[in-house]
Homo-oligomer: A and B are copies of this chain.
């Protein structure tokens, strides 16, 4: 127990300093390590394995829906980036520029892609001629670079991993349906696989993606009450098609501009997992993406038969679950702390007396509940426990969001509730005027996160100017 205590003391408590607690987990759970490249990080094996599991689930969903993976160059010539006016204005200030190849100065600067709309458009212009060539449902898994000033592991780094879907369709209707479909894929993934409840909605004009007609997003609430945008999906109309000269011959033999979308999810999701489910003992991982779902800790492992039995169980379980047996020479107490820090959903303890009684102990990470189970029904017992973890962390996250969602009708109410209860989702009506959006941010600190699809008529007046309200907006401080 001394060992265990020592480990736990090593991380700052979330109540004391949430930001420090977060970075402590990133380091102690061995998710990332800093590098001499400012703002860039190493994603270590344990962190990368979470990303691989995220990729696997999402990639299968994308393919099921007819998407194909491609790979575009990582460089964009300056002239190509400049083709769509809003787009270049949005991204040019934060790109990294390649100016030299070897010792030679390049004739034209290349930026390292911050996103790849322009490259996809150039490609579409090459390969699309007829309505028969549509739609193209493409995606790529790559890293992108944005020259951020202040950075934090997973949440904001100069290079990050993501997938970017880029699709092109004959009609606006099809493209809009795709934009909505992918937002739903993202929301379902967050809720069903990561147990992170999200709010689906549309971004206001001022918060749209550079070059988009409309941007949809899912917003999650972190444990400290700040919002985190977990995924976005953009509808571009035919703006990019016009800028890049992409046209197709319709069935009626007319030249038409196609309609486009893009959508993305990033390694930020790992930050969202940490800040939604983590606690003062470390990470708490959703079973679907946990690199280790069950860790087996032998007790009194030097005693005859213990390691053999533990290995037998490992082998038996490993056809259904991601299992690790830790037979290292550390104490069981040390190991308990270690895998709590790493957020392994279920711990299986087995010692000589358990073996004699034909049983073992299962401990669920999120609530440390212990259950003695028979070795005869182990696989189904594990399945139950994993389901319990999912239900448990989901409920906790939903509860946190409920406690931190505030309906307000005046600016003073917003200020008061934030002062009293701390950060959270503020639901308040808005007239649609950007000046009011800015003023709410300025006076109360919370910005508009989205216009939720699920609207509620909290009042009929704008929370800021008192004029007739157009919609309910969700406001929050955000990562």
A122 touching B36, Cβ below 8 Å: yes
Residues from chain B with a CB closer than 8 A to the CB of A100 are 96-97, 99
A42 touching B123, Cβ below 8 Å: yes
B102 touching A147, Cβ below 8 Å: yes
A33 within 8 Å of B (CB atoms): yes
A71 touching B97, Cβ below 8 Å: no
Contact A145-B74, Cβ < 8 Å, known A101-B96, A123-B42: yes
A37 contact from B35, B49, B77, B93, Cβ within 8 A:
B77
Query: Which residue of the partner chain B has the closest CB to A44?
Result: B70
Residues from chain B with a CB closer than 8 A to the CB of A51 are 71
A71 contact from B42, B76, B103, Cβ within 8 A:
B42
Nearest chain B CB to A354's CB is how many angstroms away?
Answer: 28
A316-366 contacts to B (CB < 8 Å) = none
A138 touching B98, Cβ below 8 Å: no
A45 within 8 Å of B (CB atoms): yes
Contact A37-B76, Cβ < 8 Å, known A93-B103, A96-B101, A98-B97: yes
Query: Which residue of the partner chain B has the closest CB to A52?
Result: B69
Mark contacts of A35-58 with chain B using CB atoms, 8 A cut-off: 1 yes-contact digit, 0 otherwise.
111001111110011011000000
A102 contact from B41, B93, B159, Cβ within 8 A:
B93
A35 contact from B73, B93, B99, Cβ within 8 A:
B73
B97 touching A35, Cβ below 8 Å: no
A71-114 contacts to B (CB < 8 Å) = 71-77, 80, 92-103, 110, 112
B70 touching A37, Cβ below 8 Å: no
A119 contact from B35, B44, B112, Cβ within 8 A:
B35
Nearest chain B CB to A54's CB is how many angstroms away?
Answer: 13
A171 within 8 Å of B (CB atoms): no
The total of chain A residues at the interface (CB under 8 A) is 52
Nearest chain B CB to A36's CB is how many angstroms away?
Answer: 6
A33 touching B123, Cβ below 8 Å: yes
Indicate the member of A37, A43, A143 with the most B CB atoms within 10 Å: A37
Residues from chain B with a CB closer than 8 A to the CB of A76 are 37
CA distance A123 to B44 in the complex (A): 10
Nearest chain B CB to A141's CB is how many angstroms away?
Answer: 9
A161 within 8 Å of B (CB atoms): yes
A19 within 8 Å of B (CB atoms): no
Mark contacts of A6-32 with chain B using CB atoms, 8 A cut-off: 1 yes-contact digit, 0 otherwise.
000000000000000000000000000
A127 within 8 Å of B (CB atoms): yes
A68 within 8 Å of B (CB atoms): yes
A73 contact from B41, B52, B68, Cβ within 8 A:
B41
CA distance A161 to B140 in the complex (A): 13
Query: Which residue of the partner chain B has the closest CB to A99?
Result: B99
Nearest chain B CB to A78's CB is how many angstroms away?
Answer: 11
- Give the 8 A-B CB pairs with smallest separation, nearest first: A40-B73, A101-B147, A45-B68, A97-B100, A43-B71, A37-B73, A99-B99, A96-B98
Besides A36-B122, A42-B70, 17 more A-B contacts (Cβ < 8 Å) are A35-B72, A35-B73, A35-B122, A35-B123, A37-B110, A41-B73, A42-B71, A43-B71, A45-B69, A48-B68, A48-B70, A52-B69, A74-B74, A74-B143, A92-B102, A97-B98, A97-B100
